[in-house]
Amino acid sequence: MSNEKSGGAGSVVLIVVAFGIALAVFYGLNHFIMNIQGLPLNWDLTPAG
């Protein structure tokens, strides 16, 4: 939501990095939240056990 136009390749890198961070945050959040409830998940987020 920035007014400025960033350089093409640079903005792609920014968005990729940003999405990478966001995905990591929510992936970790999913595991954490389900674990503290005693509901472990596999790496692919399917219920474990």
DSSP states of 1-49: --SSPPPHHHHHHHHHHHHHHHHHHHHHHHHHHHHHTT--B-TTSSBP-
For position 39 contacting another protein by CB under 8 A, the verdict is yes
Which of 3/43 has CB closer to another protein?
A: 3
For position 18 contacting another protein by CB under 8 A, the verdict is yes
Binding site for another protein (CB under 8 A): 1-4, 6, 11, 14-15, 17-19, 21-23, 25-26, 29-30, 33-34, 37, 39, 45-47
